[in-house]
Copies of this chain bind each other. A is one copy, B any other.
Protein backbone atom coordinates (compact mmCIF):
# COMPACT_ATOMS: atom_id res chain seq x y z
CA UNK A 1 0.00 0.00 0.00
CA UNK A 2 2.53 2.54 1.07
CA UNK A 3 5.32 4.07 -0.92
CA UNK A 4 8.98 4.25 -0.01
CA UNK A 5 10.50 7.56 1.04
CA UNK A 6 7.49 8.96 2.80
CA UNK A 7 7.43 10.15 6.37
CA UNK A 8 4.80 8.89 8.80
CA UNK A 9 2.33 11.69 8.19
CA UNK A 10 2.83 11.64 4.45
CA UNK A 11 2.17 7.90 4.39
CA UNK A 12 -0.96 8.26 6.52
CA UNK A 13 -2.38 10.91 4.20
CA UNK A 14 -1.44 9.01 1.07
CA UNK A 15 -2.96 5.76 2.32
CA UNK A 16 -6.17 7.48 3.38
CA UNK A 17 -6.51 9.16 0.02
CA UNK A 18 -5.75 5.94 -1.85
CA UNK A 19 -8.25 3.97 0.22
CA UNK A 20 -10.91 6.62 -0.43
CA UNK A 21 -10.61 6.06 -4.17
CA UNK A 22 -11.83 9.58 -4.83
CA UNK A 23 -11.32 13.22 -3.93
CA UNK A 24 -11.22 14.40 -0.32
CA UNK A 25 -10.92 17.88 1.12
CA UNK A 26 -8.00 18.61 3.42
CA UNK A 27 -10.38 18.83 6.36
CA UNK A 28 -12.04 15.53 5.51
CA UNK A 29 -8.58 13.97 5.57
CA UNK A 30 -7.88 15.65 8.89
CA UNK A 31 -11.09 14.33 10.44
CA UNK A 32 -10.35 10.85 9.15
CA UNK A 33 -6.91 10.86 10.70
CA UNK A 34 -7.78 12.10 14.19
CA UNK A 35 -7.59 8.58 15.53
CA UNK A 36 -4.08 8.34 14.13
CA UNK A 37 -3.12 11.44 16.08
CA UNK A 38 -3.77 14.28 13.63
CA UNK A 39 -4.88 17.46 15.34
CA UNK A 40 -4.26 20.42 13.02
CA UNK A 41 -4.79 21.29 9.35
CA UNK A 42 -1.11 21.99 8.89
CA UNK A 43 -0.28 18.34 9.40
CA UNK A 44 -2.44 17.54 6.40
CA UNK A 45 -1.31 20.43 4.22
CA UNK A 46 2.36 19.72 4.84
CA UNK A 47 1.94 16.10 3.87
CA UNK A 48 -0.07 17.06 0.79
CA UNK A 49 2.60 19.53 -0.33
CA UNK A 50 5.18 16.77 -0.45
CA UNK A 51 2.86 14.21 -2.05
CA UNK A 52 1.89 16.70 -4.72
CA UNK A 53 5.53 17.62 -5.37
CA UNK A 54 6.24 13.91 -5.82
CA UNK A 55 3.31 13.49 -8.21
CA UNK A 56 1.54 10.99 -5.94
CA UNK A 57 -1.40 13.27 -5.29
CA UNK A 58 -3.12 15.93 -7.38
CA UNK A 59 -5.12 18.95 -6.33
CA UNK A 60 -8.47 19.50 -8.01
CA UNK A 61 -8.65 23.27 -8.17
CA UNK A 62 -12.32 23.46 -9.03
CA UNK A 63 -13.24 21.37 -5.96
CA UNK A 64 -10.60 22.47 -3.47
CA UNK A 65 -9.98 18.78 -2.98
CA UNK A 66 -7.18 16.27 -3.37
CA UNK A 67 -7.03 12.90 -5.08
CA UNK A 68 -4.47 10.10 -5.23
CA UNK A 69 -2.79 9.80 -8.63
CA UNK A 70 -4.45 7.16 -10.79
CA UNK A 71 -1.14 5.90 -12.19
CA UNK A 72 1.79 6.91 -10.05
CA UNK A 73 4.09 4.58 -11.95
CA UNK A 74 3.87 6.97 -14.93
CA UNK A 75 5.37 9.83 -12.92
CA UNK A 76 2.60 12.29 -13.46
CA UNK A 77 4.80 14.95 -12.00
CA UNK A 78 6.98 14.80 -15.06
CA UNK A 79 4.09 15.46 -17.40
CA UNK A 80 3.28 19.12 -17.67
CA UNK A 81 -0.36 18.28 -18.06
CA UNK A 82 -2.66 15.97 -16.17
CA UNK A 83 -6.38 16.28 -16.87
CA UNK A 84 -9.45 15.30 -14.88
CA UNK A 85 -13.03 14.57 -15.88
CA UNK A 86 -15.17 15.15 -12.81
CA UNK A 87 -18.79 14.00 -12.62
CA UNK A 88 -21.03 16.64 -11.05
CA UNK A 89 -23.56 13.96 -10.07
CA UNK A 90 -21.59 11.17 -8.44
CA UNK A 91 -18.30 12.93 -7.81
CA UNK A 92 -16.34 10.30 -9.68
CA UNK A 93 -12.98 11.49 -11.04
CA UNK A 94 -11.31 10.13 -14.13
CA UNK A 95 -7.66 11.11 -14.55
CA UNK A 96 -6.01 11.06 -17.95
CA UNK A 97 -3.15 12.37 -20.00
CA UNK A 98 -3.71 13.73 -23.45
CA UNK A 99 -0.53 14.41 -25.33
CA UNK A 100 -2.26 16.04 -28.27
CA UNK A 101 -3.74 18.54 -25.89
CA UNK A 102 -0.44 19.15 -24.21
CA UNK A 103 1.31 19.63 -27.50
CA UNK A 104 -1.36 21.95 -28.91
CA UNK A 105 -1.25 24.17 -25.86
CA UNK A 106 2.52 24.33 -25.79
CA UNK A 107 2.62 25.19 -29.45
CA UNK A 108 -0.13 27.79 -29.23
CA UNK A 109 1.32 29.53 -26.17
CA UNK A 110 4.94 29.09 -27.19
CA UNK A 111 4.21 31.19 -30.27
CA UNK A 112 3.18 33.97 -27.88
CA UNK A 113 6.28 33.68 -25.75
CA UNK A 114 4.47 32.09 -22.84
CA UNK A 115 6.32 29.33 -20.96
CA UNK A 116 3.89 26.90 -19.28
CA UNK A 117 4.95 25.51 -15.92
CA UNK A 118 1.80 23.87 -14.66
CA UNK A 119 -1.48 23.39 -16.46
CA UNK A 120 -4.86 22.82 -14.85
CA UNK A 121 -7.43 20.96 -16.94
CA UNK A 122 -10.64 19.96 -15.20
CA UNK A 123 -13.74 19.00 -17.15
CA UNK A 124 -16.92 19.11 -15.10
CA UNK A 125 -19.92 17.22 -16.44
CA UNK A 126 -21.84 13.96 -16.29
CA UNK A 127 -20.13 10.57 -16.42
CA UNK A 128 -21.45 7.62 -18.40
CA UNK A 129 -23.21 6.15 -15.36
CA UNK A 130 -25.01 9.36 -14.50
CA UNK A 131 -25.91 10.64 -17.98
Contacts and interface: CB of A to CB of B under 8 A. Distances in A.
A131 B113 contact: yes
Interface stretch (A29-37, A70-78, A99-107): A99-107
A105 B120 contact: no
A94 interface: yes
Contacts of A105: 83, 98, 101, 123
A121 B127 CA distance: 19
A120 to B, nearest CB: 4
Cβ-closest 10 pairs across A and B: A113-B128, A116-B125, A61-B61, A117-B125, A120-B122, A115-B126, A61-B62, A119-B123, A118-B124, A115-B125
Given A87-B114, A88-B117, A116-B124, 9 more contacts: A85-B112, A94-B112, A94-B114, A113-B128, A114-B125, A116-B123, A117-B125, A119-B122, A120-B123
Interface of A: 61-62, 83, 85, 87-88, 94, 96, 98, 100-101, 104-105, 108-109, 112-128, 131
Specify how many copies of this chain sit in the oligomer: 2
Contacts of A127: 113-114
Contacts of A98: 104-105, 108
Contacts of A131: 113, 115
